[in-house]
Amino acid sequence: MKVTLISIPVRDQEKALKFYTEKLGFLKKKDAPLGGGNRWLTLVSPEWQDGPELLLEPAPNHFEPCKVFQDALMEAGFPYTQFDVENVDAEYDRLIKLGVEFSVKPTEMGTAKFAVFNDTCGNNIQIVEML
């Protein structure tokens, strides 16, 4: 068994696509209409194009429990998911220059360094570097 798809809830798929490709550097892999203005929209890491796909899931727009969960995570400041990076400080600096807003600056905790940013689509995302 292996992970092939990870879903992240977004309120606006087009806005999410722009943020995740232009700011974070993901590549669009699949984009198929599903009806009702929804799309099967997946991205991949440029460093692992055959790896797991990230589905930009419009669930908060159609499934109230998903919206409630997403809102609760944002309000509590909890990240929805995490992305590993080689260097948190360098990634933080790069993203700050692109206008990404961080709620947690690079912080060391044990054998990891992390930072948390707002993806502008309803989620906090954590980036992590193993030290």
Do residues 9 and 61 lie in contact, with contact meaning Cβ atoms separated by under 8 Å? no
Q: What is the pLDDT of residue 76?
A: 97
Neighbouring C-alpha atoms within 13 Å toward the C-beta of 125: 22
Cα 105 → chain centroid: 17
- Alpha carbon distances (Å) from 102 to 82, 91, 106: 14, 12, 9
The helix (run of H) or strand (run of E) holding residue 22 is none
For the stretch 90-101, pLDDT in tens is 999 999 999 999
Closest by CA to 112, choosing from 101, 120, 104, is 104
Check whether domain 5-130 has CATH 3.40.50.720, yes or no: no
Tokens 């159609």 label which residue? Answer: 62
For the stretch 56-88, pLDDT in tens is 999 999 999 999 999 999 999 999 999 999 999
Count the neighbouring beta carbons within 10 Å of the beta carbon of residue 6: 13
- Taking all residues of the chain, what is their mean pLDDT, rounded to a whole number? 97
Q: What is the pLDDT of residue 105?
A: 98
* Rg value, the chain, Cα: 15
Domain residue ranges in the chain = 5-130
